């Protein structure tokens, strides 16, 4: 059994094939954390349990005055506010007395096969025999709060998940000020680095690694979405960890709203990692008997460097987070008209693009922003989700019939959560937008955010989307979201519930997404938020692909896709070939390179194909054929990042290896040309004992030669040039 309880020592041991996570019901029934890392044997559990000297100045109430125990020094399993553990707290509950002191102790536990669903929220899932769960019930004897800690281990994957349920089991109301979904105390973080993914519009998920310092390092969002600025991901790794060696602990929050992720190092070099809903702007009221469910955190330990950690996240998300038919089904190559036409299109222009696209091997036309209401610029009509028949003569039905008749699928853009100031919807229902009494509403991209905590707003949106969906044969929706939230209040909620709006918004969004997917189970949903502003695991539960960034330049995309791949699989990353000079950065790159980079994602095009020369069209035709040829190894294979685009900013390389290690695909891109005689790239992930044929050169070399000596690139490639090499094992 992957999860064991040892009654004598009162120790819980949660094992995967490669990891152990150990904690104990310790002094006075407090839960004490003992260990997380590479697998340890069951024989030494006694050794792992420990005492910590109580310093005279460490606060402890009389009944816990014990010379070997101090909540402020010991490693606690789930830290509480204001009762002696003065490091970052996981839980803070405001009692009806107005005081926020919180203190929980162990009551009971259950261990069972499988993984419970988190009702109404996205989470990883497991089939029969794929996971085991531990629930630990704790109680605060003073406030009457009951707290259940959930732990699930995916034994074969080296991953585990956690979430929390808080129940008001008292007779008085209470308010949750802060509830983290995971807390992990490390006993030695002296030589650890802190990794996170920061960014901005057009520059999402930049990788940053720096020594963990004393004090708290944190990333967060209070924008209402997980955001471009910081991804809900952090990792701690040993200072000597590399891409393929060393220890890495990754934490990723399955939530698309405000979050906090922090690591706090104390003077002894211990560290506490916390991850959960951002307490700023959050206060959740619980009447007696009510419960609150804090979202899931995924925790991955790898002894094989960052690459090892990423591959565990990728497998987990591909197989236990993405759902529905599109989890397995091959994604269609799409052509999106946004960068081809922006708002200036009609049905003939779209048909013309689709016709050319179909001839080249593209399988779906996506009609982007501008098809509804009076939407000819970004300044109007969001919320008015009816077709603009002046633009699309004959309506959506006619257009989709023509596209379908070509043999192509049809997809459409929506930005359901928004309303334009200039829209029929806002004129009719100004109170449907998020707002705070007497406070001017901030505008961004000339739009407001609808209050998704309101059932009437969600019903309206569902009906609008349903009408459109039922009027034509629509295979795909791109679900966009283009601004942060401000003045976050709801006209429907009473004052002591207003700080719940951020989270209620997110729950409302989940409900609407689920409703749409239930009504249209074959729909392929692609998430988008001004590019990749909501690229998080919560979205991947609904949408198996997410538009990675509005920056479509192949060279900029190297960094963006590299950073995104730190925890998200390439099968979820929207990546398109766009026009040159690139619309975002003005750079011109070869069409081959644009294709090679976009192929490390859910492949598509975003340019006016009718303007391509015959020679360029031939390249596109070849790329579409390659996409099918390499689909399996790219989408279901393991990713090995070989050369980081940030290392010296001259080149970047990565490869995919099939699970059986019989096939591999290497992509190499030159960011800035340098003169050299011969250049070697060492491959990774191959079987050292197998021979591989390089399909491009015909050369046969063994796996160990390719991995240790490397593959030689004899010619000097020019700026932005790239090469792809396909390796097949020979028997
Ligand atoms: C956002 C998206 C783009 C495009 C535009 C349309 O910026 O990220 O891909 O859909 O909106 O307005």
pLDDT in tens, 41-85: 998 888 888 777 666 677 777 666 666 788 888 999 999 999 999
Lookup: tokens for 581: 């000079």
Determine if ligand 1 sits within 6 Å of the CB of residue 528. Answer: yes
In angstroms, rounded to a whole number, what is the distance separating the alpha carbons of residues 605 and 608? 9
Ligand 1 centroid – CA 501 distance (Å):
26
Residue 70, pLDDT score: 84
- Kindly report the protein residue whose alpha carbon is nearest to atom 2 of ligand 1: 530
Per-residue pLDDT for 471 more than 70? yes
SS3 278: coil
Mutate to test the pocket of ligand 1, among 203, 376, 413, 447 (most ligand atoms within 8 A of CB): 413
Strand-pair category, 418-420 with 409-414 = unpaired
Determine if ligand 1 sits within 6 Å of the CB of residue 411. Answer: no
* C-beta contacts of 136-139 below 8 A and 24+ residues apart: 136/12, 136/31, 136/106, 136/108, 136/109, 137/106, 137/107, 137/108, 137/109, 138/31, 138/78, 138/104, 138/105, 138/106, 138/107, 139/104, 139/105, 139/107, 139/169
Determine if ligand 1 sits within 6 Å of the CB of residue 257. Answer: no
Short-list 24, 597, 640, 530, CA closest to 309: 640
Q: Are 449 and 480 in contact (CB under 8 A)?
A: no
Strand-pair category, 573-578 with 545-547 = parallel
Determine if ligand 1 sits within 6 Å of the CB of residue 339. Answer: no
- The minimum-distance atom of ligand 1 relative to the CA of 531 is 8
Mutate to test the pocket of ligand 1, among 368, 478, 526, 545 (most ligand atoms within 8 A of CB): 368
661-702 per-position pLDDT tens digit? 999 999 999 999 999 888 999 999 999 999 999 999 999 999
Q: Are 165 and 110 in contact (CB under 8 A)?
A: no
Determine if ligand 1 sits within 6 Å of the CB of residue 264. Answer: no
In angstroms, rounded to a whole number, what is the distance separating the alpha carbons of residues 141 and 286? 17
250-276 per-position pLDDT tens digit? 999 999 999 999 999 999 899 999 999
- The minimum-distance atom of ligand 1 relative to the CA of 530 is 8
602-642 per-position pLDDT tens digit? 999 999 999 999 999 999 999 999 999 999 999 999 999 99
Share of the chain above pLDDT 70, in %: 99
Lookup: tokens for 607: 């340019």
In angstroms, rounded to a whole number, what is the distance separating the alpha carbons of residues 574 and 572? 6
SS3 716: coil
Q: Are 333 and 365 in contact (CB under 8 A)?
A: no
In angstroms, rounded to a whole number, what is the distance separating the alpha carbons of residues 723 and 36? 41
392 or 57, which is more confident? Answer: 392
701-729 per-position pLDDT tens digit? 999 999 999 999 988 899 999 999 999 99
Per-residue pLDDT for 136 more than 70? yes
Residue 64, pLDDT score: 60
Q: Give catalytic residues, as residue numbers.
A: 480, 550
Determine if ligand 1 sits within 6 Å of the CB of residue 369. Answer: yes
Phi, psi of 198 (to 5 degrees): -110, 175
Ligand 1 centroid – CA 426 distance (Å):
21
Q: Which residues pair with 167 in a beta bridge?
A: 146, 291
Ligand 1 centroid – CA 598 distance (Å):
18
Determine if ligand 1 sits within 6 Å of the CB of residue 482. Answer: yes
Residue 50, pLDDT score: 75
Determine if ligand 1 sits within 6 Å of the CB of residue 551. Answer: no
Triad 529, 368, 567: Cα angle to 5°: 35
Ligand 1 centroid – CA 531 distance (Å):
7
694-708 per-position pLDDT tens digit? 999 999 999 999 999
Q: Is the peptide bond before 581 cis (omega within 30 degrees of 0)?
A: yes
Mean pLDDT of 420-434: 98
Q: Which residues pair with 629 in a beta bridge?
A: none
Ligand 1 centroid – CA 590 distance (Å):
24
Ligand 1 centroid – CA 11 distance (Å):
51
Residue 207, pLDDT score: 98
Lookup: tokens for 587: 């750079």
Ligand 1 centroid – CA 575 distance (Å):
14
113-124 per-position pLDDT tens digit? 999 999 999 999
Contacts of 65 by beta carbon, 8 Å cutoff, 6+ apart:
54
Determine if ligand 1 sits within 6 Å of the CB of residue 259. Answer: no
Ligand 1 centroid – CA 245 distance (Å):
39
- The minimum-distance atom of ligand 1 relative to the CA of 478 is 10
Mutate to test the pocket of ligand 1, among 201, 550, 552, 584 (most ligand atoms within 8 A of CB): 550
Number of Cβ within 10 Å of residue 42's Cβ equals 12
Ligand 1 centroid – CA 530 distance (Å):
6
298-314 per-position pLDDT tens digit? 999 999 999 999 999 99
Q: Which residues pair with 33 in a beta bridge?
A: 23
Mutate to test the pocket of ligand 1, among 528, 534, 557 (most ligand atoms within 8 A of CB): 528
- The minimum-distance atom of ligand 1 relative to the CA of 378 is 12
Per-residue pLDDT for 238 more than 90? yes
In angstroms, rounded to a whole number, what is the distance separating the alpha carbons of residues 394 and 540? 35
- The minimum-distance atom of ligand 1 relative to the CA of 528 is 8
- Kindly report the protein residue whose alpha carbon is nearest to atom 11 of ligand 1: 530
Burial status of residue 34 (CB atoms within 10 A of its CB: 0-12, 13-18, 19 or more): buried
State the Rg of the chain over Cα. Answer: 27
Per-residue pLDDT for 3 more than 70? yes
Lookup: tokens for 237: 């790794």
In angstroms, rounded to a whole number, what is the distance separating the alpha carbons of residues 537 and 255? 7
In angstroms, rounded to a whole number, what is the distance separating the alpha carbons of residues 617 and 364? 17
Determine if ligand 1 sits within 6 Å of the CB of residue 338. Answer: yes
Ligand 1 centroid – CA 628 distance (Å):
27
* C-beta contacts of 135-139 below 8 A and 24+ residues apart: 135/109, 135/110, 135/111, 136/12, 136/31, 136/106, 136/108, 136/109, 137/106, 137/107, 137/108, 137/109, 138/31, 138/78, 138/104, 138/105, 138/106, 138/107, 139/104, 139/105, 139/107, 139/169
Determine if ligand 1 sits within 6 Å of the CB of residue 368. Answer: yes
Q: Could you tell me the domains of the chain?
A: 87-320 (2.70.98.60), 325-636 (3.20.20.70), 642-730 (2.60.40.1180)
Determine if ligand 1 sits within 6 Å of the CB of residue 417. Answer: no
Burial status of residue 495 (CB atoms within 10 A of its CB: 0-12, 13-18, 19 or more): exposed
Determine if ligand 1 sits within 6 Å of the CB of residue 204. Answer: no
Residue 40, pLDDT score: 96
Q: Are 280 and 222 in contact (CB under 8 A)?
A: yes
In angstroms, rounded to a whole number, what is the distance separating the alpha carbons of residues 584 and 582? 6
- Kindly report the protein residue whose alpha carbon is nearest to atom 7 of ligand 1: 530
Contacts of 491 by beta carbon, 8 Å cutoff, 6+ apart:
431, 435, 451, 454
- Kindly report the protein residue whose alpha carbon is nearest to atom 1 of ligand 1: 530
Determine if ligand 1 sits within 6 Å of the CB of residue 420. Answer: no
SS3 34: strand
Q: Residue by residue, what is the 3-state secondary structure of 362-411? A: CCEEEECCCCECCCCCCCECCCCCCECCCCCCCHHHHHHHHHHHHCCEEE
Short-list 33, 43, 39, CA closest to 12: 33
Q: Are 180 and 91 in contact (CB under 8 A)?
A: yes
81 or 1, which is more confident? Answer: 81
Mean pLDDT of 513-533: 98
In angstroms, rounded to a whole number, what is the distance separating the alpha carbons of residues 534 and 512? 16
Ligand 1 centroid – CA 449 distance (Å):
16
Short-list 657, 561, 638, CA closest to 602: 561
Q: Are 566 and 536 in contact (CB under 8 A)?
A: no
Q: Are 314 and 638 in contact (CB under 8 A)?
A: yes
- What rounded mean pLDDT belongs to the chain? 96
Determine if ligand 1 sits within 6 Å of the CB of residue 69. Answer: no
- The minimum-distance atom of ligand 1 relative to the CA of 529 is 8
Contacts of 655 by beta carbon, 8 Å cutoff, 6+ apart:
639, 640, 642, 664, 665, 666, 667, 683, 684, 685
Determine if ligand 1 sits within 6 Å of the CB of residue 256. Answer: no
In angstroms, rounded to a whole number, what is the distance separating the alpha carbons of residues 349 and 322? 34
147-183 per-position pLDDT tens digit? 999 999 999 999 999 999 999 999 999 999 999 999 9
């Amino acid at each position: 059994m992957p999860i064991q309880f040892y009654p004598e020592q009162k120790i819980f041991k949660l094992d995967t094939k490669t990891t152990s996570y150990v904690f104990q019901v310790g002094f006075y029934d407090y839960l004490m954390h003992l260990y997380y890392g590479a697998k340890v044997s069951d024989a030494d559990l006694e050794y792992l349990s420990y005492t910590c000297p109580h310093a005279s100045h460490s606060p402890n109430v009389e009944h816990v005055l014990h010379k070997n125990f101090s909540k402020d020094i010991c490693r606690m399993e789930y830290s509480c506010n204001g009762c002696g553990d003065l490091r970052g707290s996981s839980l803070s509950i405001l009692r009806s007395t107005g005081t926020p002191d919180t203190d929980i102790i162990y009551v009971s536990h259950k261990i069972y096969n499988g993984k419970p669903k988190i009702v109404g929220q996205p989470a990883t899932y497991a089939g029969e025999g794929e996971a085991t769960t531990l629930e630990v019930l704790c109680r605060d004897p003073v406030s009457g709060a009951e707290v259940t800690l959930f732990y699930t281990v995916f034994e074969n994957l080296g991953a585990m998940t956690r979430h929390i349920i808080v129940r008001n089991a008292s007779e008085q109301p209470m308010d949750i000020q802060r509830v983290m979904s995971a807390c992990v105390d490390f006993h030695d973080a002296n030589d650890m680095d802190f990794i996170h993914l920061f960014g901005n519009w057009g520059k999402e998920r930049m990788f940053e690694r720096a020594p963990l310092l004393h004090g708290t390092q944190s990333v967060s969002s209070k924008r209402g979405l997980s955001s471009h600025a910081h991804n809900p991901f952090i990792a701690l790794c040993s200072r000597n960890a590399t891409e393929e060696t060393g220890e890495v602990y990754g934490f990723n929050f399955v939530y698309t709203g405000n979050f906090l992720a922090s690591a706090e190092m104390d003077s002894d070099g211990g560290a506490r990692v916390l991850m959960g809903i951002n307490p700023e702007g959050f206060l959740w009221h619980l009447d007696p008997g009510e419960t609150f469910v804090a979202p899931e955190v995924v925790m991955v330990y790898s002894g094989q460097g960052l690459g090892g950690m990423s591959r565990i996240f990728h497998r987990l998300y591909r197989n236990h987070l993405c759902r529905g038919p599109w989890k397995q089904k091959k994604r269609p190559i799409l052509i999106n008209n946004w960068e081809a036409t922006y708002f200036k299109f009609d049905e003939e222009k779209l048909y013309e693009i689709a016709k050319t696209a179909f001839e080249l091997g593209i399988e779906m036309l996506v009609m982007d922003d501008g098809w509804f209401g009076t939407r000819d610029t970004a300044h109007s009509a969001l919320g008015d989700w009816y077709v603009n028949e002046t633009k699309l003569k004959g309506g959506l039905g006619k257009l989709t019939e023509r596209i379908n008749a070509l043999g192509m699928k049809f997809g459409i853009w929506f930005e359901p959560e928004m309303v334009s100031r200039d829209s029929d919807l806002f004129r009719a229902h100004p109170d449907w937008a998020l707002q705070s009494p007497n406070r001017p509403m901030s505008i961004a991209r000339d739009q407001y955010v609808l209050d998704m905590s309101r059932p009437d707003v969600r019903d309206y949106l569902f009906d609008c989307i349903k009408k459109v969906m039922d009027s034509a044969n629509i295979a795909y929706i791109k679900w966009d979201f283009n601004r942060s939230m401000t003045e976050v209040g709801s006209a429907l909620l009473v004052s002591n519930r207003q700080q719940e709006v951020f989270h209620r918004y997110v729950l409302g969004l989940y409900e609407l997404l689920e409703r749409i997917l239930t009504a249209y189970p074959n729909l392929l949903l692609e998430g988008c938020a001004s590019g990749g502003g909501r690229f998080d695991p919560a979205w991947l539960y609904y949408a198996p692909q997410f538009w990675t960034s509005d920056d479509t330049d192949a060279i900029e995309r190297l960094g963006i896709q590299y950073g995104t791949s730190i925890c998200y699989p390439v099968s979820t990353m929207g990546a398109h070939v766009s026009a040159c000079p690139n619309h975002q950065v003005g750079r011109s790159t070869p069409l081959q390179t644009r294709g090679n980079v976009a192929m490390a994602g859910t492949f598509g095009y975003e340019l006016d194909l009718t303007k391509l020369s015959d020679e360029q069209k031939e390249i596109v035709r070849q790329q579409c054929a390659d996409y099918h040829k390499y689909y399996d190894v790219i989408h279901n294979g393991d990713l090995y990042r070989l050369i980081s685009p940030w290392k010296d900013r001259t080149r970047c390389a990565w490869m995919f290896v099939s699970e059986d290690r019989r096939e591999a695909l290497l992509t190499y891109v030159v960011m800035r040309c340098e003169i050299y005689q011969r250049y070697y790239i060492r491959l990774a992930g191959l079987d050292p004992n197998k021979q591989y044929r390089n399909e491009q050169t015909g050369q046969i070399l063994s796996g160990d030669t390719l991995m240790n000596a490397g593959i030689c690139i004899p010619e000097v490639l020019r700026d932005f040039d790239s090469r792809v090499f396909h390796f097949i094992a020979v028997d």
